Amino acid sequence: MRVFIAGIDGYLGWALAQYMTQQGHTVAGADALMRRQWVAEMDSYSAIPIANHEERMAAFEAEFGTNLDFRVGDLTDYDFVKTCLEDFQPDAIVHLAQMPSAPYSMLDNKHAVWTQVNNITTNLNILYAIKDVVPNAHLVKLGTMGEYGQPNVDIPEGFFDVEFNGRQDTLWFPRAAGSWYHQSKVHDSHNTYFTTKIWNLRATDIMQGVVFGTTYPEMNENPHLRTRLDFDQSFGTAINRFCAQAVVGHPLTLYGAGTMKRAFLPLRDSMRCLTLAVENPATAGEFRVFNQFAESYSIVELAYIVQSVGQEIGLDVQVKHYDNPRVEKEEHYYNPIRENLDRIGYVPTTDVKSEIKVMLKDLIQFKERIEAKKQLLVPDIRWDGSHQRSKELNLPETVQ
């Protein structure tokens, strides 16, 4: 299939371009290379050094024997998006091109507005370009499990059956996102759903959990093909940060009690699930929602898994609690349902420990790079808009 990846330079996008090419698909994509700038704005960089654009293109060609049609450009520019689709004529568009960080979006008014304008405009441009250029193409849109928040009931895949005043319907499950970034994804979901109704577009909205991992089994060893791995407070996700902290002997930074629960997905499973969604398209007019995750854990459980795996390979890993810079529920029910992906062949990688071991061993090679940014490991972006570094809480370290 011809697959266009919007956001092809990012953590997921660059890995997916290679994975899907290895699966026999013809891949093209676009990216404004902004992730590199946002992370630099956080005064950080990827723990795994990543190649620049030209080096990546040369390495891709050397590995796969073909040029990658990767256009550097801004997807908030409608003419650019339209031209990309006109030239490539994709069967599927995987849309990953968004600012993905909750803390970055909570920095201040400027970042909140920018996040929403950027993310919502890009999605609208892609929807319009599909309608105008390739109306039969299938949109696989990356949403987030965070759109749902933490309701006190099971989380269905997008819709649920409701009975009210004696009548029944299947309705949009309430979304209750916890940051301006997550809210931007809720707006995108609504807009995408709307276009399946008015223009008969076909769309899969992926409610993806927190992704972790440095690699996937088939990833090439060429350093210019490696994908990024962020560990700063904005662009590093919890397990990725914990692994980076573990290799430099910094205590793992549990926010508050750390009892928040999330759904998690190894990078390798994210690649597999996105490919399955592309290969099994939605029908015309269909809006499908996939809850995309392997397993749910509390953050504190994961911290202790990182600690025990770290100990196995000789790292002395401490776990500490810091005052929570976010406004979020710490004690809550959490039970997302995942059926749609299983139906099309997804079998989760359940071995989180092995995945964490691979990550730790990978990151040990880049210990000095993380060490040089150690001062960034404790967060200071707070949900009330202030900037104050979190303090260690006087909670005893739990012994596993």
Q: Name the residues that contact ligand USQ, by CB under 6 A.
A: 100-102, 144-146, 209-210, 237-238, 241, 253-255, 258, 260, 262-263, 299, 326, 328
Distance CA 230, CA 99 (A): 14
Cα torsion through 118, 121, 127, 129, rounded to 10 = -100
CB of 73 to ligand USQ, least distance (A): 22
CB of 263 to ligand USQ, least distance (A): 6
Residue number of the CB closest to ligand USQ reads: 146
Q: Which amino acid is at 149?
A: G
CB of 209 to ligand USQ, least distance (A): 5
Nearer to ligand USQ, 21 or 115 (CB): 115
Nearer to ligand USQ, 60 or 334 (CB): 334
CB of 347 to ligand USQ, least distance (A): 21
Structure tokens at 203: 């769309």
Nearer to ligand USQ, 9 or 90 (CB): 9
Nearer to ligand USQ, 220 or 296 (CB): 296
CB of 84 to ligand USQ, least distance (A): 23
CB of 136 to ligand USQ, least distance (A): 29
CB of 103 to ligand USQ, least distance (A): 7
Distance CA 323, CA 47 (A): 25
Structure tokens at 185: 């994804």
CA angle 104, 81, 72 (to 5 degrees): 65
> Catalytic pick from 11, 45, 148, 181?
181
Nearer to ligand USQ, 116 or 237 (CB): 237
Q: Is 144 a catalytic residue?
A: yes
Nearer to ligand USQ, 124 or 239 (CB): 239
Nearer to ligand USQ, 258 or 310 (CB): 258
> Catalytic pick from 115, 141, 185, 204?
185
Strands 138-144 and 202-208: parallel
Strands 167-172 and 202-208: unpaired
Write the Ramachandran bin of 104: left for phi over 0, alpha for psi from -120 to 50, otherwise beta: alpha
> Catalytic pick from 21, 115, 144, 195?
144
Structure tokens at 160: 């649920």
Q: Is 185 a catalytic residue?
A: yes
As annotated, the active-site residues are 144, 181, 185
